[in-house]
Amino acid sequence: MKTFYAILFSIGVTSVVSSIFGCAGYLYGIGFWVPFLVVTGLQLVIGALWNTYIENKLAAKMQIERESFEAAKKLADSIQNVDLACAYCAARNTIQLNMAEENSFKCINCNNANKVQVQFSTIRTTEPVVRDDLLSKIFKLQTEEEKEEKEKVKK
Ligand SMILES: [Zn+2]
């Protein structure tokens, strides 16, 4: 309903402005309709350009908002809560580790400043000794044996 009134208001303003130019044209002997239609056309063109400008501005604003949201999300993803022992008194401190920057903390127990050293290492992945397919084979054999035994009992 709000947009309906806005459109009605816009049409009203356009008509009034065009009518003023039409009346002026009539008074100066050009006639009413030529200036009325020219000014109406001009207003439509200006209005369309203005709308495009506003839309582009809005799109640019949304793009900036989206980018800052993604940056914030990336930062939030890079922060991990870790439990670390103080280098002085070995008390456990839960700190927020940010992979994007250097991390340090003051111990909650002895108040000494600690710097966090992040190390990465790799290990080989290992296959479980008893594999699922092997287990299922054994289970199948057992159930078949049970069946045979049951049949034997029936006989
Ligand atoms: Zn400490």
- Say if residue 37 is in the same domain as residue 85: no
* Per-residue pLDDT band at 90 (split at 50, 70, 90): very high
Ligand 1 centroid to residue 118 C-alpha, Å: 19
Residue 154: inside a domain: no
Question: How do residues 22-52 score in pLDDT, each as one tens digit?
Answer: 999 999 999 999 999 999 999 999 999 999 9
Ligand 1 centroid to residue 98 C-alpha, Å: 21
36 neighbors 25 (Cβ within 8 angstroms): yes
For 106, the domain range is 79-115
- Say if residue 35 is in the same domain as residue 91: no
- Say if residue 19 is in the same domain as residue 39: yes
Residue 148: inside a domain: no
Residue 151: inside a domain: no
Question: Pairing relation of β-strands 113-115 and 92-98?
Answer: unpaired
Ligand 1 centroid to residue 82 C-alpha, Å: 16
From CA 150, how far away is CA 145, in angstroms rounded? 9
Ligand 1 centroid to residue 7 C-alpha, Å: 68
Ligand 1 centroid to residue 18 C-alpha, Å: 80
- Say if residue 24 is in the same domain as residue 69: yes
Q: Which residues pair with 97 in a beta bridge?
A: 80
Residue 127: inside a domain: no
Q: Mean pLDDT over residues 107-112, rounded?
A: 96
- Say if residue 59 is in the same domain as residue 98: no
Ligand 1 centroid to residue 106 C-alpha, Å: 8
- Say if residue 12 is in the same domain as residue 64: yes
Number of domains, the chain:
2
Residue 98: inside a domain: yes
- Say if residue 11 is in the same domain as residue 66: yes
Residue 139: inside a domain: no
103 neighbors 84 (Cβ within 8 angstroms): no
- Say if residue 16 is in the same domain as residue 66: yes
Q: DSSP letters along 49-71, please?
A: HHHHHHHHHHHHHHHHHHHHHHH
User: CB neighbours (10 Å) of residue 97?
Assistant: 15
Residue 42: inside a domain: yes
38 neighbors 18 (Cβ within 8 angstroms): no
Ligand 1 centroid to residue 102 C-alpha, Å: 19
Q: DSSP letters along 106-117, please?
A: E-TTT--EEE--
Ligand 1 centroid to residue 105 C-alpha, Å: 10
Q: Which helix (H) or strand (E) holds 118?
A: none
Ligand 1 centroid to residue 104 C-alpha, Å: 13
* Per-residue pLDDT band at 77 (split at 50, 70, 90): confident
- Say if residue 12 is in the same domain as residue 70: yes
Question: How do residues 124-154 score in pLDDT, each as one tens digit?
Answer: 888 766 666 777 777 777 777 777 887 777 6
